[in-house]
Structure 1
């Protein structure tokens, strides 16, 4: 089988194994026909996954244990054995060991995409505290992948109903306003526009931009960022022939008519965009890190310690993350094929008697 014909290989990092990550992974992969659509490559150990598989009574799942990502077997649920020892799982508990293993899984999975052994990365949730170390000193997956993969990552929450990008991501509320400037707002609009064109095949995307302050500043009464920063950036984008609108008041924007009218929304900070997104699209929402060389997605929920080990976690968001990654990968490749060498000079074949000068 040629590289072009083989199924897409999905690298999967397990996140914090004391949370619901492995549970939603296994629930997604328990369907017998799942490997007809893609080849899963999980970075963990067969011992750890078998322990959770047995707890869930998923007898139909069979693992293909391998020692390195270069040994992937297509059509099987591959497990790259990163650890040999038995791991003690403490559901719902924050442990240093779980954070260390979460990082090892993420590091190996992301490297496998760089090396070309896998095609896309889907990450199960991490605990942003216990994963911190001398090697991992990032607020989350988004920032880590921006460094190891290169690029300017955009946290893009997507679902069938809504797509939301953020100007500022994982920073304290007190630091938000000083990070809202012409450069940051313009850059995020361009990232969203580029992703919608290249990743979602939308030729003329319509982007809504929210204001920072209540009621979008009320013409300067409740803050000046809209008049001094956001509106001028929107006008610049319009002058560059992009369909960008706003700034809109965040408290009244997320209604059905607006959601139908726009292809994406740019929020100024994390909770401004994500509270609405998770309310509207929680079970099917996907976190897509746009702006990178490779495709990475994840479910839009966290480790959920409160229900870990109970077998009640909903896998729909993780399943959507996998199939979204596959679709994004295909869309990107198709875009690259369509735009490759479009301006390449094609020499004309001259007929006898034509002027050759």
Structure 2
């Protein structure tokens, strides 16, 4: 089975288009790729990098390095690398929605997404908190964000929230839902029949027996205990400052962090270049790069494409896993 992947470059003034051009220089045998973007932005990126690019219509076959299949979605304003334009916010969101809809209807088997510029999308009049949330709303399902590299997989109980709102957002119901999605995804997408999941506490030292907060006692531990009684291999709540020690990670398949900056700095320090962002719980695999638009690097030919290559590799592997499961 050769997975059919949809690819959205993201912000056209950032490094997304040139990363797609670099990807096109190495035709793949493990998947087919179709890009949802403005062909003009891709051609401009190819010119800036002095790399060959031949834009092919949907359904065409890639024959040589530089070939790229494109579902055209025109930008509303000319693109200048390094200068994000709110007028192009519509095209960015349309590309995401269109590619995702093709995954929902079975035309494609998985979705790979490049970096978007949140402030520019909101400045364009489109309320936007993140692609994870956008795809979940479109599909009508609950999802979990997980970032992964060769060292560790870190899922998040909450995503893009101010720190002062995190404690109130973590409830027994939300935590149980998150752990069930994570457990199911580790079985279905990663082929782990008995995934071992470490659950972090919210407070320093996991609350220090209630002296530094009672969320571990009143919210996290009851959920962990109940799901462990059902047969899930869960440990926790664990102090976050020691949970990522190599000796601890050897016995863990995934870590559930309570908030964004509790787990992701460790993951990015351990291997930022090959890290990817996964949305668990969608009807299709979605994998994103783990970096921003890098407007200051756009069009200069120096952006590292490693994360995009890793995202495509991961999405192809997950797509095959779902079809053969």
Normalising to structure 1: TM-score of the pair? 0.85
2: CA distance between counterparts of 1:96 and 1:134?
Answer: 4
Inter-CA distance 133–294: structure 2 relative to 1 (3 Å threshold): farther
The structural deviation recorded for 1:246 is 1.0
* SS class of match (1:294): coil
Matched, 1:55 2:48: yes
* SS class of match (1:305): coil
2: CA distance between counterparts of 1:111 and 1:18?
Answer: 24
2: CA distance between counterparts of 1:117 and 1:136?
Answer: 27
Inter-CA distance 132–172: structure 2 relative to 1 (3 Å threshold): same
CA contact (8 A) 2:12 2:84 kept: no
Inter-CA distance 84–123: structure 2 relative to 1 (3 Å threshold): closer
Counterpart position of 2:96: 106
In the TM superposition, what whole-angstrom CA distance separates every residue of 1:14-42 from its partner, at most 9, and x where no partner exists?
211111111222222212xx243322111
Matched, 1:79 2:70: yes
CA contact (8 A) 1:136 1:144 kept: no
The structural deviation recorded for 1:134 is 9.0
2: CA distance between counterparts of 1:153 and 1:24?
Answer: 27
Matched, 1:166 2:173: no
Matched, 1:11 2:6: yes
- Which of 241, 247, 265 is 1:257 aligned to? 247
1:118-137 residue pairs with structure 2 within 5 A?
118-132=108-122, 136-137=126-127
In the TM superposition, what whole-angstrom CA distance separates every residue of 1:86-111 from its partner, at most 9, and x where no partner exists?
x5222222321232321122122112
1: CA distance between counterparts of 2:191 and 2:44?
Answer: 42
* SS class of match (1:288): strand
1:198-237 residue pairs with structure 2 within 5 A?
198-237=188-227
2: CA distance between counterparts of 1:327 and 1:136?
Answer: 33
* SS class of match (2:316): helix
CA contact (8 A) 1:20 1:304 kept: yes
Matched, 1:320 2:323: no
CA contact (8 A) 2:3 2:32 kept: yes
In the TM superposition, what whole-angstrom CA distance separates every residue of 1:162-184 from its partner, at most 9, and x where no partner exists?
11111111111111010111111
CA contact (8 A) 2:30 2:316 kept: no
Inter-CA distance 84–282: structure 2 relative to 1 (3 Å threshold): closer
* Max Rg structure: 1
Matched, 1:333 2:320: no
- Which of 17, 25, 36 is 2:29 aligned to? 36
Aligned length: 321
In the TM superposition, what whole-angstrom CA distance separates every residue of 1:255-307 from its partner, at most 9, and x where no partner exists?
21122110000000011111111111211111010101111111111111222
Counterpart position of 1:152: 142
Counterpart position of 1:346: none
Give the stretch that moved more between structures: 200-209 or 7-16. Answer: 7-16
* SS class of match (1:292): coil
Normalising to structure 2: TM-score of the pair? 0.93
The structural deviation recorded for 1:244 is 0.2
CA contact (8 A) 1:283 1:317 kept: yes
In the TM superposition, what whole-angstrom CA distance separates every residue of 1:147-174 from its partner, at most 9, and x where no partner exists?
1123211101122221111111111111
Inter-CA distance 84–316: structure 2 relative to 1 (3 Å threshold): closer
The structural deviation recorded for 1:133 is 7.5
1:175-194 residue pairs with structure 2 within 5 A?
175-194=165-184
User: Any stretches of 5+ residues in structure 1 without a counterpart?
Assistant: 336-357
CA contact (8 A) 1:120 1:326 kept: yes
